[in-house]
Chains A and B, each alone.
Chain A
Amino acid sequence: MKTNDRKKYLQKRRKNKILVAVTQIFILIAFLGIWEWMANKEIIDSFITSQPSRIWATLTNLGANDLIHHIQVTTYETVVGFLLGTTLGIVIAIILWWSNFLAKVADPYLVVLNSLPKVALGPIIIIWVGAGTQAIIVMAIAISLIVTILENLNGFLRTDENLIKMAKTFKATKFQILTKIILPANISTFISSLKVNIGLSLVGVISGEFLVSKAGLGYLIVYGGQVFKLDLVMTSVIILGILAGIMYGIVVLLERCILNSKKFK
């Protein structure tokens, strides 16, 4: 039996939740409504600001703009850059954990590379690997790699010393300490790397596409801007937002699967 207080508490909680959701939806609708209304009344110039109905028209007319193809290109580049950047980053972090000497040597380079704006490497990357998809993927890797190395190495080094000592009392080899202690103890580090990297890879891909590309959402945005097709620019930005949300959602789903199966709480 629920007590009265309990009922009240649950009711209040639900009410609060609904209130937040309603407000969120209201803000979105009001924003779109005002935008549309002001454009129709010509208070703002819809040539420069575009307007929701025109964005919707562009969106529903996917075929004409070849939008699906552009979305596919950006998604492909992001996923490849994300997977390569994350894997490479974790592998390098493992190597640096293994060799204290290498970690010390690499330290100042990592610090400098980490603070260097990777977009500045754009022209170099294009000249080295060629203008095309490969340059965009390299850009995505460049942006996520160093952060991944630093964050994972840090996680490895912060693993509870006692666990390592315990393993050593059983004559564990360094490889065993890595596979049985360090890696499983850092599952949460990996997951947070994944979460950060999905966003970073998208940044890398879009800035790559700005510099060099024949397709992709970044290309559409730049192209739309150059020919003053603001409908196209706005539509691409909105799709990009949705794409980023979906990718993040997939990582969160993956996290939940891992946590449930391994009983990490």
Chain B
Amino acid sequence: MTVTYEEALQKYEPVFGLETHVELGTRTKMFCGCPTAFGAEPNTQVCPVCLGLPGSLPVVNQRAIEFAIRIGLALNCSIASWCRFARKNYFYPDMPKNFQISQYDEPLCTDGYLDVLTGGETVRVGIERVHLEEDTGKSLHVGGATGRIQGAEYSLVDYNRSGIPLVEIVTKPVPGTGYLAPEVARAYVTELRDVLRTLGVSDVRMEEGSMRCDVNTSIAARGSGAWGTRTETKNVNSLRSVERAVRSEISRQAGVLDAGERVVQETRHFHEDTGVTTSGRSKEEAQDYRYFPEPDLVPVAPADEWVSSIRASLPELPSARRARLISAWSLSELEFESLRNAGALDVVEATVAVGASPADARKWWLGELARKANDDGIEVSALPITPSDVARIAALVKAGTLNDRLAREVIDGVLWGEGTPDEVVEKRGLAVVSDDSALIAAVDEAIAAHPDVAEKVRGGKVAAAGALVGAVMKATRGQADAPRVRELILERLS
């Protein structure tokens, strides 16, 4: 039975939760000194430890512990004073040992939160835990029609990724967001990504798999106060997909319940192309990981002084920056969101820092420049124009040397590599003409060419002067100082 999202929300209340895996940006792996560079030739960044060869012993990368603590502190978590790694036992070809080293009942960081801004509202998402583990290898499935594991005849495994430090960040269940659940889920992942990027602990590239989400979703009848059976959707690897996965699971589960059936607790796979989820491994027997403390690694006990020094070294986090900029630039939360969503925060702040007004900086970066970036399919910050260039253009407009139309031409010139704004103005001869002697000639020509309009203005219809201003602007290829032209026309016809 198909139920639309709107219909589902009329009857049911959703609860979601997210488990996010993030590859840490350390130089070496979690338990060995192999490099972690992305895109290396297969099986060139491996050693006996990350290949799980007999007799090899893991040693913890201190930087990975430090990064995990940074994340925990930024997410307002408590940092364990003592914790252990654990073996999670299972067999799978992408894991060369018969276990993954992870953390189980003693995570490094627990019980925090992240405040998330969406649609002008702030939602506090609880953080259950942040723990450390190792990534698995990468499989290439051969022989099937689709390159998927289903139908493949055999698989080829590259262990370069095996053993790369991974943190798993698990939220508490998030109830009460109702219709906005998919957007809040997306906003959480967006905010988390920004936090991790600010901390410098990961490159957080979802498209390269360095940040991956599993989305838990359940629904229950509105007003029942109960929580339904949840499903876990894997393979959700873009911000947009997080939103779509929650939305489609809510609709699907509503269809199941409306048909009088029960939602099955299972793993589901998200399909990027269709936006729907399909059942995963329900036929396998329930997982039995037989966790036990990792005997080859001694416990981790971060000293208070170490944690304090890490805390003292934290950069300004996105939430603090948000509060500071909203206040300093007199923005509404929605205006702030549009800046952030356009990826323009850094460039606008840098433009303001070199002298532009916040309003001017926002106007140019969110207007003309955002359009150009969109046309080229790149981030606005990747445009070949600097914040100093934009500040200079804004200053030229403010000084009356350029009008908005000419400023756009200067932007074009800078983007085409013609030099600095001043060089473009010089080379293209773009300055506004406000020299009266030059303008008066053009004004007289326009009056002569449009005697009927001139007569109307003489007769007191001042509004008709607009047509003459337009003629002068056209004749001067937009470079005339329009307000001055208007004054001159009215003087000549008074």
Partners in one complex: no
